[in-house]
Chains A and B, each alone.
Chain A
Amino acid sequence: MIGPTSLHVRSINHKTAPTEVREKAHLEPDRASALMDALGGHVADENHNPTVSENGCISVIPLSTCNRTEIYLEVVEGTDVDALLKKGLAEVGADPDLFFSEHASSWTDLDAVRHLYHVSAGLESMMLGEPQISAQLKDAYRLARSHHEPGPGLMRAFQGAFRAGKRVRTETKISTGAVSVAFAAVELARKFFDKLSDQRAVLVGAGETGGLAARHFLQHNIGHLVVVNRSLGNAEVLAATLREEMKSGPSKKAAKNSGGLLPPAADADGKSGQISVMAWEHLTDAIAEADVILSTTGATEPVILPDMVRAAVAKRKGKPLFMLDIAVPRDIHPDVSHINSVFTFGLDDLDGIIQGNLAARARQVPHAQGIIEEELVEFQTWLDEIDIRPTVAEFKAYLEELKDKQVGFVRKKQSDEVAQAVDHSLQQFIKKVLGRSVSTLKSSQTREERERDLETLKKIFSADDPD
């Protein structure tokens, strides 16, 4: 039994610290492991219960992502957490002062748990409701468990956080709608086409931006991608790279954990994800055959002109053509947007969609907070009972033993029916006595009062032997 403990968190995150500070505070897995070793609490007893290190630390779980580095601690009550943490950070070569500067925040006990639940639900994320944090939190917990058995408080808090995060994501719309440019482009394309796997996209330009946009469409199973570039060689290089990536794409599990941002590799049946190249001279033909145009060249003048598009549209029999211009300066001539059945969009439109989705997510925050408060009530209930549970269990065992002796005595003198009736009656009696005892213990106003009550109870049932 560890005894009274307290929970603490120290956080450096995107709300309190600029990128350079977050970079300095970052704890890569090796250093996180070293911190766990340095702070102790890494040995479990024969019952797999965590032990207390000499410095008072029971367990520590570091979480480090691009946007936050947080250290969750469970310590014996009264431990000097700041000194403990500074010493541990210094030992692993991190800058301890950083975690105690104006860029850091800290919470204790229920507030620390509340913060953890908020983080798990994506409420503290830069992109509200983003799903990766859930997987990152699980990785941090897994890493910690590989080092030591987390203390009861942290274990319960993390399990509650995973549950709260899952509930928030399933019961609210906090994670829906695109909040990145590339994803917004895919979302917009989906307003035109039922299945992207039946569509043909043309990527105009083989630069970095183009590659990024193409990856998103390929990851969302675009049927066929044609790369058109002034330099055919560059187009072929990009196509080859994309083909390679498609073959060795993330597993379905990894895609699921990424919350849809890393969809799995193309279907094995080859229905989607075909990639080819076309020479620049055939751009008009490529447009005529395409459903989606992604234009991302570095040209200083528009490269997709109204006449080219008109010629292409004439062959399309009214089928809509979705054109996305994410180049600066723009690649698609403004007059193209006046052509019938042609829909042109730019970065401003994608930003409009993202802002709309973020506003919709923000409207879900009160609902998410409500769910978190419900989960916190459960945590608080567990916390209230944690110190009385062993004593109550002992008390129950004592009463059960007494009951069995009495029933045995009755069975010798009376029939089985009478003995069963007595057994049933005494079981009801035990239930009532235990219920009353638990509620009395839980109603204690202070920890001291509760400890006194527990001692009294222990004295009562250990004062005499049931015999």
Chain B
Amino acid sequence: MATVMSIFKFLMPLAYLVVWGTYLWLFYTDSPTARRLCTRFALIVVGLHTACIVGRGIILGRLPMGAPAEFFCALSLAMLATYMVIEIRIKAKNTGFLVTGVSFLFVLIGSLFSSTTDEVSPFLRDPGFAGHAVLVLFAYTALSLSFLYALLYLILNRQLMRHQFGLLFRRLPSLETLERMSIGAVKLGVPLLFAALCLGHLWMYDLADRVDADMAAMLTPWDPKIMISWVILLGYSLGLLGNRFLGWRGKRMNTLAVGAFVAVVLTMGLVYHFFPSFHNFRSHQPISALSGFPQSAAEMLAVNEEAGR
């Protein structure tokens, strides 16, 4: 199994490269063959990568998102999978080269810098946390795609305003389609983020009962990252409501989407660097050392059984 995983580690960037190449081929030539192949290739790669990550998770006995390289691999899969949902719903393929290009870059980083270290946070061995983390990953990926499409909208809008009829004019879908893709991504991201936050809260309360007092004291819903996530969820939800009921659209709506995502990145960056948070899963953080949190899946099972008795 481990050998198969090692092979996949090298094959996966190649598979992403093929997908990216096919989307690039489509963008530059509008070839019917590329149009027919790109979605199929992408879906195959999503399936393969999902199997690969699940397999790796089974081998390691934890969520394979502990090391930075693992995170990049998961991020590439999340981007491609989320993009596929949007592409299949909106039926517009000509922007695929951007997302698949970024996905390829992430999976390449993940493969080049992957290490065999297993020193990760014990949280990653908890199924509740795994669900929360995966949902968060997909939610923020969807929001980042919304940003990307809103940005493309603004670029095409600018080109049309300036009467420039170049390659982007010829290849990008209509402004309306780009707006639908951007809003579609938000419609995907908002419920995922909501589910992620709810699951995170449930998991946190469940965890508080299973760890020692020091650790339990740190598990607070007032954690800055959690609070800012609720604010982000609220902001995007208001945007969706404005679009649905107040008819917000066009340049204004897309500028808002771009601005919102930039604000998310900046705020998250600030919170991460200047506020203490229990949302830190690197192995050397004091949280794992301080807590009585189980260090392996077997230990986790034992703790759960104990709690059950």
Contacts and interface: CB of A to CB of B under 8 A. Distances in A.
Contacts, number: 56
B37 to A, nearest CB: 16
B175 A320 contact: yes
A320 B175 CA distance: 9
A176 B253 CA distance: 33
B225 interface: no
A318 B249 contact: yes
Given A173-B30, A192-B176, A194-B180, A341 B169 contact: no
A173 B175 CA distance: 24
B30 A318 contact: no
A9 B201 CA distance: 83
Contact of A318 (B156, B163, B176, B250): B250
A194 B177 contact: yes
A271 interface: no
Given A343-B160, A352-B165, A356-B165, A176 B250 contact: no
Interface string A75-117: 0000000000000000000000000000000000000000000
B269 interface: no
Contacts of B161: 343
Interface string B115-156: 000000000000000000000000000000000000000001
A379 interface: no
B248 interface: yes
B174 interface: yes
B165 to A, nearest CB: 5
Given A317-B246, A318-B249, A341-B251, A191 B163 contact: no
Contacts of B177: 194
Contacts of B173: 194
B252 interface: yes
Interface residues of A, number: 22
B69 to A, nearest CB: 40
A341 B161 CA distance: 9
A15 interface: no
B308 interface: no
A353 B159 CA distance: 13
A382 interface: no
Given A194-B173, A360-B170, 6 more contacts: A190-B174, A191-B174, A193-B176, A317-B249, A318-B247, A349-B165
13 contacts: A191-B160, A191-B175, A192-B176, A193-B175, A194-B174, A194-B176, A317-B246, A317-B248, A318-B249, A318-B253, A343-B161, A352-B165, A356-B170
List 6 tightest A-B contacts by C-beta distance, closest first. A318-B250, A317-B247, A318-B252, A194-B176, A194-B177, A193-B176
